Structure 1
Amino acid sequence: MMHQGQSSPDGIQETGRVRKKDRHAPSPSAAVVGHPKSQDSLPVFLFPTELVFYAQEHSSHRRVLTFYNPYSFVLRFKVLCTAPALYTVVEAEGNVRARSCVDIVVRHQDVSSRNWGRRDRFRLEVSGGGQRGTREIWAELRGGEGAEKPLETPQGRAAPPMSSAAMFPPGVLNPDRGRDASLFALYIVVGLVCITCLMLPLHSEPSPLVPLHIHVTVMQKLVCAYILGLLTMVFLR
Structure 2
Amino acid sequence: MRRKDSHDGPARGQGGGTGGSGVTAVTGGGETGGVTAATLPVFLFPSELLFFSEQRRCHRRVLTLYNPYSFTLDYKMLCTSPSLYRVLEAEGSVRAKSCVDLVVRHLNVSPANCGRRDRFRLEVRGGGQRGGREVWAELRGGEEGGGEGEEEEERKRRKPGGHQQRGLQLPLVPTAVRPSVSQWLLCVLLALLCAAVLMLPLHTDSGSMVPRCLHVSTNQKLACAYTLGLLTMVFLR
**Superposition deviation, residue 10 in structure 1:** 1.4
Cα distance in 1 between the residues matched to 2:70 and 2:156: 53
Paired position in structure 2 for 1:188:
none
SS in 2 for 1:159: helix
Cα distance in 2 between the residues matched to 1:169 and 1:3: 51
Match of 2:103 among 105, 128, 135: 105
Q: 4+ runs of 1 displaced by more than 6 Å?
A: none
Deviations 1:184-218 (A, max 9, x none): xxxxxxxxxxxxxxxxxxxxxxxxxxxxxxxxxxx
**Superposition deviation, residue 3 in structure 1:** 4.9
Where structure 1 has 5 or more consecutive residues not aligned to the other structure, the ranges are 13-33, 151-157, 173-237
Paired position in structure 2 for 1:10:
28
- With over 3 angstroms needed to count, the CA separation of the structure-2 counterparts of 1:11 and 1:110, relative to structure 1, is farther
Contact kept? 1:91, 1:103, Cα under 8 Å: no
- With over 3 angstroms needed to count, the CA separation of the structure-2 counterparts of 1:129 and 1:171, relative to structure 1, is same
Contact kept? 1:35, 1:43, Cα under 8 Å: no
Where structure 2 has 5 or more consecutive residues not aligned to the other structure, the ranges are 1-17, 150-154, 173-237
Across the aligned residues of Structure 1 and Structure 2, the Cα RMSD in angstroms comes to: 2.8
Structure with larger Rg: 2
**Superposition deviation, residue 136 in structure 1:** 0.1
Contact kept? 2:68, 2:97, Cα under 8 Å: yes
- With over 3 angstroms needed to count, the CA separation of the structure-2 counterparts of 1:114 and 1:47, relative to structure 1, is same
Cα distance in 2 between the residues matched to 1:8 and 1:109: 18
SS in 1 for 2:69: coil
**Superposition deviation, residue 168 in structure 1:** 1.8
Cα distance in 2 between the residues matched to 1:64 and 1:91: 12
Q: Structure 2: which amino acid aligns with 1:10?
A: G
Cα distance in 2 between the residues matched to 1:54 and 1:9: 25
Cα distance in 2 between the residues matched to 1:113 and 1:9: 25
Contact kept? 1:11, 1:82, Cα under 8 Å: no
Cα distance in 2 between the residues matched to 1:100 and 1:120: 28
Cα distance in 2 between the residues matched to 1:143 and 1:75: 36
SS in 2 for 1:59: helix
Paired position in structure 1 for 2:125:
127
Scaled by the length of structure 2, what TM-score is found?
0.53
2:157 is aligned with 1:160: yes
Match of 1:115 among 96, 113, 116: 113
What is the number of residues matched between the two proteins?
Answer: 141
SS in 1 for 2:57: helix
- With over 3 angstroms needed to count, the CA separation of the structure-2 counterparts of 1:114 and 1:8, relative to structure 1, is closer
Paired position in structure 1 for 2:50:
52
Paired position in structure 1 for 2:85:
87
Contact kept? 2:23, 2:78, Cα under 8 Å: no
Deviations 1:136-180 (A, max 9, x none): 010000000003438xxxxxxx7337664x3424159xxxxxxxx
What is the percent sequence identity of the aligned residues? Answer: 55
**Superposition deviation, residue 120 in structure 1:** 0.2
Contact kept? 1:76, 1:96, Cα under 8 Å: yes
